[in-house]
Amino acid sequence: MMNLKEMFQLSDRGAKDLKKGIFACTLTNLSLMLSVVITVQIFWEVLTPLTGGAVSWSKMWMLFGAGVVAVVIHFLCCKNDYRKTYVSCYTAAEDSRIRIAELVRKFPMSVFNNKDLTELTTNMMGDCASIEHSMSHIVPPLMANAISCTLICICVMFFDWRMGLSIFCTLPISFLIIFGSRKAQERGSQRQVKAKLKASEEEQEYLEGIRIIKSCHLDGERFSKLNDALKDLKKQSIHMELGTSVFISIAQFVLQAGIGITVFVGVHLLTGGSITILPLLLSLVIVCRMYGPILTILTLLPMLFHTLVSTQRMRELASIPVMEGRTDVPIPNHAITFDHVSFAYNKEPVLKDVTATIPEGKITALVGPSGSGKSTMSRLIARFWDVSTGTVKVGGADVKTLDPEYLMGTMSFVFQDVTLFNDTVWNNIKIGNLDATDEQVLAAAKAACCDEFVQRLPEGYNTLLGENGSTLSGGERQRISIARALLKDAPIILLDEATASLDPENEVLIQSAISRLIKGKTVLVIAHRLRTIADADQILVLNNGEIEESGTHADLMAKGGLYQRLYQIQAKSQEWAV
Ligand SMILES: Nc1ncnc2c1ncn2[C@@H]1O[C@H](COP(=O)(O)OP(=O)(O)OP(=O)(O)O)[C@@H](O)[C@H]1O
C-alpha cells in the first residue's frame, strides 16, 4: 500500500507535517465529542423528575463547568489544528514547486520538445495547488473523521452493540458506492485536466500572438479556437462535477437511512424494555453528530481521487530521467572537438558524421545555409542535448560524462533571442555572475556599451525591464546579454550572431562589445553575415548536416566552393535597394 509520502509526492518534511496535521485534526474531532457526552448528561439530569427523582443542581453546575472546559479544549485543538494543517500544506506545496523547478533545470532539452511550457506550468502551479488544497482541506479532515468515527463506533458498540449496529449499518454501502465509482470519477477528472490544459494553451497562444492576430485580422478564427477550448472546459467541468455529485448524493441518501433505522431499532428496544432512555438518547445525539463528519468523508473522497490524478502527473514528471554527470573531471584546456558526431532531434538526421576541432584561444566561425545544423552544433557543445553517435569533447572530456551545470561554468552564450527577466537592468546583468562586485557589474555594462543607454532610462540601472525586456530595442537587449557574458568571464564563448539587421550605430557598438568579450577566449561564432567573420582563424562550412569545407576566409574564397557562393550572394544582396 502506498504511503502518504508516495501518494502525494511529498518530501520527508512534507510527509511528517501532513501526519502532524492529521493528528491535530483528529484531536479536534474527538474534542467535539466531549460536548456531546456532556450534553447527554445534562439532558439526563433534566429528565430525572420523569423517573421520580430530583434534579441535582450541584451536578448541573459541574456539568456546565465541564461544558465550558470542553469548549475551551475544543478551541485550543482547533487553533493547533489550523496551525499544523496550514503550515504543512504551504510548506509541502513550496517543496513540490522547488523540486519541480530543480528537476526541470536538469531535464534534457528533448523533454521540452515533447512537453510544452503550458503543461509544465500546470504541473508547477495547478498540480501543486491541488496538492496544497488536499493537504489543507481534504486529507487531514478525511483521515481525522475516519479515525474519530472508527473510535466512536467502537465505543458505541461496547456501550450497546445493537444501537451501534443500527447507527453504522448503512456506512459500508455508502463507501462501496463511492469506491465503486472511483474509476468513473478519475476518468472525468482526467478529461477535465486535459480540457484545462488545452484551454491554457489556447489562451497563451492567443495572448502571445495578439499583435499578429490584430494585424492579420485573425480575430474570428483564433478567437473561435479559444472559444471552443473554453466551451469544452466548461462541458468537461460540468460533466465531472455532475458525475461525482450523483454518486455522492446516492451514498449520502443511503447513509441517512441509518437515522430512521436507529430511531426504529431504539424505540423497539425501549418499548421491549431492553434499553433505558439514556442509551437511546445518546444514540440519537450520536447519530445526529456523527453523520455530519461521515457525510463530509463521502464528499471529500471524490476530491481525493481528483487530487490523485494530479499526483500521478507529478509522478510521471519525476520519473523523467535527468541529465547527470561528474563535477570532478578536470578540464585542462578549452579546445572543443567533434569526433564522428551524428545527431537527430527526431528521426531525420541533422548532423551526419561531423568531425571538427575548435582550437583553444582561437575564433572559429560556423557558416552555412539556414537549417544546415549550425545552432545544433553549439547546443551539443553545451550538452543541451546528448549526441546519438560519436563524441563531443571539451578540454578532452566527453561532455556526456560531465554534469551540465559544471560544463556550463566553462562557457558563455550570446544568443540572438536574448532572454531578459522581469527585473532591474542591474540584476539582469548580474545574472552572469551573482558573486560579482558592484564595480565589476558596472565595468561589464560599460565594456558592453550598455552604460550610455541605461543612463537614459528613467531609473538608470534600477529600471524594471518588464516582461522579457519588452521596453528595450533588439540592439540594447543584445548588449545586455554581452554584458552578462563579460561578467561571467567564461573561457569558451558560443556566439549566435544577430540575423536581424541592426542600425549602423548599434552594429558598431555591438561589434566593439563582442571584440572585448572574445579577447583570448575559445570562440565559436555562428555567423550569418559573412563579412563579419573574414578575420576568423578558422571557418567551418556546414551544409545539410555535414562539414563541406573548412579553412580561412582566403582559403575558402580561393577554393570557389559553397562559402564563396554564399559570400557572393550576400555581397550582391547588399547592393539591393527597396
Ligand atoms: N528542437 C528541435 N526539434 C526538432 N527539430 C529541430 C529542433 N531544432 C532544430 N531542428 C531542426 O534541425 C535542423 C537544423 O536546425 P539548426 O537550428 O541547427 O539550423 P541552423 O543552421 O542553425 O539554422 P538557422 O541558420 O536558420 O538558424 C532544422 O531542420 C530544424 O528544423
The whole-number average pLDDT for the span 557-575 is: 83
Nearest CA to ligand 1 atom 4: 345
Print burial letters for 63-73: b (CB count within 10 Å at least 16), e (below 16).
Answer: beebbeebeeb
Confidence of residue 219 (pLDDT cuts 50, 70, 90): low
pLDDT (0 to 100) of residue 203: 84
For residue range 164-180, what is the model confidence (pLDDT) as tens digits?
A: 888 888 888 998 999 89
β-bridge pairing 349-358 and 522-526: unpaired
Task: With CA atoms as reference, report the closest residue to 284 among 27, 36, 60, 49.
Answer: 36
DSSP secondary structure letter of residue 321: P
Cα–ligand 1 centroid distance for 377 (angstroms): 10
CA separation for the pair 538, 135 (Å, rounded): 60
**448: helix, coil or strand?**
coil
Cα–ligand 1 centroid distance for 455 (angstroms): 38
For residue range 109-128, what is the model confidence (pLDDT) as tens digits?
A: 777 766 666 777 776 677 78
Confidence of residue 314 (pLDDT cuts 50, 70, 90): confident
Q: What is the CA radius of gyration of the chain?
A: 35
| Bigger pLDDT: 36 vs 476 | 476
DSSP secondary structure letter of residue 424: B
Cα–ligand 1 centroid distance for 373 (angstroms): 6
Confidence of residue 72 (pLDDT cuts 50, 70, 90): very high
Q: With 60 as the cut, is the pLDDT of residue 2 above it?
A: no
For residue range 252-310, what is the model confidence (pLDDT) as tens digits?
A: 899 889 888 988 998 898 898 888 877 787 778 777 777 888 888 888 888 888 888 87
Task: With CA atoms as reference, report the closest residue to 386 among 352, 348, 342, 329.
Answer: 342
For the record, the C-alpha cell of 527 comes out as 555567423
| Mean confidence (pLDDT) of the chain | 85
For residue range 497-540, what is the model confidence (pLDDT) as tens digits?
A: 765 556 667 777 778 888 888 888 899 999 888 877 888 899 99
CA separation for the pair 225, 214 (Å, rounded): 15
Atom of ligand 1 nearest to the CA of 376: 18
β-bridge pairing 492-496 and 411-414: parallel
pLDDT (0 to 100) of residue 522: 92
pLDDT (0 to 100) of residue 542: 93
The whole-number average pLDDT for the span 384-401 is: 91
Is the model's pTM score more than 0.80? no
Longest dimension (CA), the chain: 125
Residues lining ligand 1, Cβ inside 6 A: 113, 345-346, 350, 368, 370-376
Q: Are 450 and 476 in contact (CB under 8 A)?
A: yes
For the record, the C-alpha cell of 253 comes out as 441518501
Percent of the chain with pLDDT over 90: 24
Confidence of residue 576 (pLDDT cuts 50, 70, 90): low
Q: Are 396 and 547 in contact (CB under 8 A)?
A: no
pLDDT (0 to 100) of residue 36: 78
Find the range with the poorest average confidence among 17-31, 352-366, 389-403, 455-469.
Answer: 455-469
The whole-number average pLDDT for the span 328-332 is: 85
Nearest CA to ligand 1 atom 3: 345
Q: Are 411 and 494 in contact (CB under 8 A)?
A: yes
Q: Are 525 and 365 in contact (CB under 8 A)?
A: yes
CA separation for the pair 102, 404 (Å, rounded): 13
Cα–ligand 1 centroid distance for 383 (angstroms): 16
CA separation for the pair 126, 469 (Å, rounded): 27
**Does the ipTM exceed 0.90?**
yes
